[in-house]
Amino acid sequence: MKNIPPDDWDEFDALDDDEMDLIDIPSLQPSFFENDTARQPQPKYTISLQLERDVLVWFRAQGPGWEKHMAGALRQYMEAHKSNNHDKQKPDRAP
Check if the beta carbon of residue 21 is closer than 8 Å to that of residue 12.
no
pTM for this model (two decimals):
0.49
What percent of the chain stands above pLDDT 70? Answer: 81
Read off the pLDDT band of 12 (50, 70, 90). Answer: confident
Q: Tell me, what's the pLDDT at 33? A: 79
Say which residues have a Cβ less than 8 Å from residue 87's Cβ, sequence separation at least 6: 81
pLDDT digits (tens, 9 = 90+) for 50-86: 999 999 999 999 999 999 999 999 999 998 988 775 5
